[in-house]
Amino acid sequence: MTSTYSRREMLLQSGTGFGALALAGMLQGVGSASESPASPLMSKLTHHPARAKSVIFLFMEGGPSHIDTFDPKPAIQKLAGKPLPDSFGRVITAMGEFDSPVLESKRKWKQHGESGLWISDWLPHMATRADDLAVIRSCWTNGINHSGGVCQMNTGTQFAGRPSLGSWVTYGLGTQNQNLPAFVVMQDKGTVVNGPRNWGTGFMPAIYQGTKMQIEGTPFANLNAPKHVNPHQQRIALDYLAAVNQRHMQTRRDNSELEARIRSYELAYKMQSHAPEAVDLSQETAETKALYGMDEKETSEFGRNCLLARRMVERGVRFIQLYHGAGSKWDAHSNIESNHTKMCRGMDKPVAGLLTDLSRRGLLDETLVVWGGEFGRTPMSEQGNGRDHNPTGFTMVMAGGGVKAGQAFGATDEVGLHAVEDRVHVHDLHSTILYLMGVDHRKLIYVNKGRPERIDENEGHVYKKVIA
């Protein structure tokens, strides 16, 4: 029986395995009919001096409890076992429980660093970096469940179909290197809610999507050529394939997927030489690995990812997304003590190690580190000893990259249920991150089907109080 292939299938299976590799790094000269006139060479564009060159977004998937980590609420102890005061009205939580009593927090709180920032005993290592942290206690979001919350924190909306924050960054600023992707994604064992939607491009060209790295085995999938194909043969095949594709492109007004695939072949070819060195942790000292907790079972996995993130920053990767607790493992509807004890233990030392390492290498000032999840957790109990989702008030933490360190900003109410002072929506967080990278979110526009689109859906504001 004779097999036939469409041209698309031929392209997917050709190129000695390069076709499955996301590119998001070869941005010079990229453009499509739907893009704004400035976009083809936007790797050189900033609207004002940038404070940060790169972003490392540490995503605690499932929703860490802000009132047990960075936002102490003495009133919770006084109200433990009692209903919320009548002034709150009747609160129905995301999972449908109502009239639940307040759940005490068993945390011990101390002020840390010269700044005196309050941090709980669940985070002893991050507490040593208190003077690096800008703690925003007044965040809120629209997503009440994990799918919507994770999607909004990553893309600005609860619904599928829009570009991720990392895609907007690479669209606006391009790459600082030509040998690695501009936007990489790492997750621990598990599957992040919504999967690739979180680092996808939505209506933008595929060239701006994130490249997922693997937790086990070769960090970049589909990179190595078959053993029987030597570099010279690869070069000949790639040059021929590029010529064929370029002729095909000339007959089409807009084919971003084909253009992305052409560039992915070239990026993958360069990565064969450069990526192995970038992810070679044998170059790191035992002291550095221990700093990230790679010598301990509980912290080795996330510690590895944090160390790889530092190496990516050193090599000019623009946006690095790290997921901790992939598969909503921070979700603590019951037994929050055991859940959060384990989850904090797994990420606390690696995050502190990352901040320490960036600082001593002179990279923290130009790298914006963001920590947080899709929402917080309620002061009321769920299932007796857990906490429900809380989208109306939670904490996000920033460090480096031009933020005012050693300070807390905004506030939730006396029990941490609602953001009440300097309320900062997810759109505002995204706008602020772009601002710190030298981009005005109001001017970073992508025209989709005649409609000008922005990351903040025309609703965000830069939270300037957090900017140094």
The torsion defined by the Cα of 93, 98, 103 and 109, in degrees rounded to 10, comes to 40
- pLDDT bucket at 283, cuts 50 / 70 / 90: very high
Predicted local distance difference test score (pLDDT) of residue 26? 39
The tens digit of pLDDT for each residue in 309-331 reads 999 999 999 999 999 999 999 99
Beta 211-212 vs 419-421: how paired, if at all?
unpaired
**Of residues 94, 26, 31, the one with CA closest to residue 394:** 94
The torsion defined by the Cα of 394, 294, 107 and 132, in degrees rounded to 10, comes to -60
- Work out the average pLDDT over 48-75: 97
Residue 107: is its pLDDT beyond 70? yes
- pLDDT bucket at 72, cuts 50 / 70 / 90: very high
The tens digit of pLDDT for each residue in 366-416 reads 999 999 999 999 999 999 999 999 999 999 999 999 999 999 999 999 999
Predicted local distance difference test score (pLDDT) of residue 278? 85
C-alpha span between 379 and 414 (Å, rounded): 10
55 - beta bridge partners? 319, 368
CB-based burial, 237-249: b 16+ in 10 Å, e otherwise: bbeebeeebeeee
45-49, 295-299, 305-309, 432-436: segment of lowest average pLDDT: 45-49
Quickly list DSSP for 172-200.
HH--S-SSS-SEEEEE-SS--TTGGGGG-
Q: Which two tokens stand for residue 89?
A: 């009205």
Sketch out the chain's domains with CATH numbers.
39-222+284-466 (3.40.720)
Predicted local distance difference test score (pLDDT) of residue 324? 98
The tens digit of pLDDT for each residue in 220-249 reads 666 566 666 666 666 676 666 667 767 766
The tens digit of pLDDT for each residue in 52-65 reads 999 999 999 999 99
- pLDDT bucket at 355, cuts 50 / 70 / 90: very high
Residue 264: is its pLDDT beyond 90? no
Residue 117: is its pLDDT beyond 90? yes
- pLDDT bucket at 268, cuts 50 / 70 / 90: low
C-alpha span between 93 and 95 (Å, rounded): 6
Predicted local distance difference test score (pLDDT) of residue 270? 54
Q: What is the pTM of this model?
A: 0.85
DSSP state of 287: H
Give the Å distances, CA to CA, from 173 to 24, 55, 167, 170, 390.
11, 12, 10, 5, 34
* Distance between first and last Cα of the chain: 68
Using alpha carbons only, how large is the chain's radius of gyration in Å?
Answer: 23
Q: Which helix (H) or strand (E) holds 378?
A: strand 376-382
- Do 56 and 466 contact (CB within 8 A), yes or no? no
**Of residues 305, 311, 300, 239, the one with CA closest to residue 277:** 311
C-alpha span between 26 and 5 (Å, rounded): 28
**Of residues 285, 320, 374, the one with CA closest to residue 65:** 374
- Do 265 and 25 contact (CB within 8 A), yes or no? no
Q: Which two tokens stand for residue 275?
A: 């990526």
- pLDDT bucket at 99, cuts 50 / 70 / 90: confident
- Work out the average pLDDT over 186-215: 91
Predicted local distance difference test score (pLDDT) of residue 459? 95
Residue 2: is its pLDDT beyond 70? no
Predicted local distance difference test score (pLDDT) of residue 46? 84
pLDDT above 70 as % of the chain = 79
- Work out the average pLDDT over 204-233: 74
Residue 34: is its pLDDT beyond 80? no
More confident residue, 9 or 150: 150
- Do 121 and 393 contact (CB within 8 A), yes or no? no
- Cβ atoms within 10 A of the Cβ of 250, count? 7
Predicted local distance difference test score (pLDDT) of residue 173? 93
The 8 Å CB, 24+ separation contacts for 94-97 are 94/144, 94/145, 94/388, 94/389, 94/391, 95/333, 95/382, 95/388, 95/389, 97/380, 97/382, 97/388
Tell me the average pLDDT of the chain.
Answer: 86
- Work out the average pLDDT over 192-218: 89
The tens digit of pLDDT for each residue in 172-181 reads 998 888 788 9
Predicted local distance difference test score (pLDDT) of residue 163? 97
More confident residue, 117 or 259: 117
Residue 155: is its pLDDT beyond 80? yes
Predicted local distance difference test score (pLDDT) of residue 235? 65
Q: Is the dihedral of CA 48, 51, 54, 60 positive or negative?
A: negative
- pLDDT bucket at 286, cuts 50 / 70 / 90: very high
- pLDDT bucket at 5, cuts 50 / 70 / 90: very low
Residue 271: is its pLDDT beyond 90? no
CB-based burial, 327-343: b 16+ in 10 Å, e otherwise: bbbbbbbeebeebbeeb
337 - beta bridge partners? none
Looking at residue 4, its amino acid is: T
